[in-house]
Amino acid sequence: MTRVTCAEVREAAPDLALGLVTGRERAAYLDHLERCGPCRADVSALAVTADDVLLAGPRAEPPPGFRGRVLERLGAAGAFAEAGPGADRQPSGAGFDAEPGAERRRTGRRGGGPAGRPPRAGRSGPRVLAAAAAVLVAVGLVAGGLAVLAGRGGDGADPATAGATAAMRTGTGRLVGEATVRGDDPAVVTVDLPGWGELVERYGDPGGRYWLAVELDDGSRTLNRIPPDESAWEVPLRAAAADVAAVSVVDAGGRAWCTGRFPAPA
């Protein structure tokens, strides 16, 4: 095998980090990296940077039904063999069939991105992907053994009196607060987001308008204006507690900042 020098590795380090070197040439470099700590550290650091570029890459909303098809394919590949034939099983509360397209239909938004913005146009025509808009994600709760914070009625209590609590999460699953629905018909929804003011100040418009969207099991939604300078709100509903499916905080553009879902009663 051809021996390469540190200078040669340093020259080729970005190519190695990006996976642009193949075959015998790559083998020679890898042989050197095994024996040379500084070169290994250099390539490793550049590989992390290459990852950062990937992470800053485009986002795009997949076609309707995508998630279900992936889960079917995972099931067919045997991914859920030990967990049972559950590839097509709905996780309680995760609602993976409630795909973004369905969410948009319910909210009446148009366009591919949050706040109904049209996708950004790529500069160079069909070869380059136009807009990679992030998607308004109807956030589901992580159920099962992972993260059940929510459940109507909790420990078997009567939801009408004891109340049901749902974790409020951002699109990436970050926990930012909780929503509680209690009382008989009409019910009252209480949302507590301890860091709300800071989030708005940092990422939003402190002078902007925000609403608490309450979604019922029948798909209907009501919007209730909430002041941005408070972190807890109480909203009376014209519905029973058991009919409340989800609560979201949305901005004037229809973008969901966080969502809490109440699993349907068994």
CB of 42 to another protein, least distance (A): 9
CA 231 to chain CA mean position, Å: 22
The least distance separating another protein from the CB of residue 232, rounded to whole angstroms, comes to 15
Structure-token pair, residue 93? 């509360």
Nearer of residues 58 and 183 to another protein, judged by Cβ: 58
Contact 160, 188 (CB under 8 A): no
CA 105, 107, 108 angle in degrees (round to 5)?
A: 65
Contact 3, 32 (CB under 8 A): yes
Q: Please tell me the distance from the alpha carbon of residue 83 to that of residue 80, in angstroms, as a whole number.
A: 5
Closest distance between another protein and the C-beta of residue 33, in Å?
A: 14
Nearer to another protein, 36 or 47 (CB): 47
Which residue, 95 or 163, is less far from another protein as judged by CB? 95
In terms of CB distance, is 140 or 260 closer to another protein? 140
By beta-carbon proximity to another protein, the closer residue of 176 and 213 is: 176
Closer to another protein by CB, 95 or 160: give it: 95
From edge to edge, which strands make up the β-sheet containing 244-251? 221-226, 210-216, 244-251, 256-261, 164-169, 175-182, 188-192, 232-236
User: What is the sign of the dihedral through the CA atoms of 145, 151, 154 and 155?
Assistant: negative
**Closest distance of CB 239 from another protein, Å:** 26
Helix (H, G, I), strand (E, B) or coil at 152: coil
Rounded to a whole number of angstroms, the minimum distance from the CB of residue 155 to another protein is 18
Token pair of 190 as six digits: 């209480």
CA-wise closest residue to 167 among 205, 193, 189, 188: 193
CB of 193 to another protein, least distance (A): 12
Give me the sign of the Cα torsion angle 15, 19, 20, 22.
positive
CB of 139 to another protein, least distance (A): 8
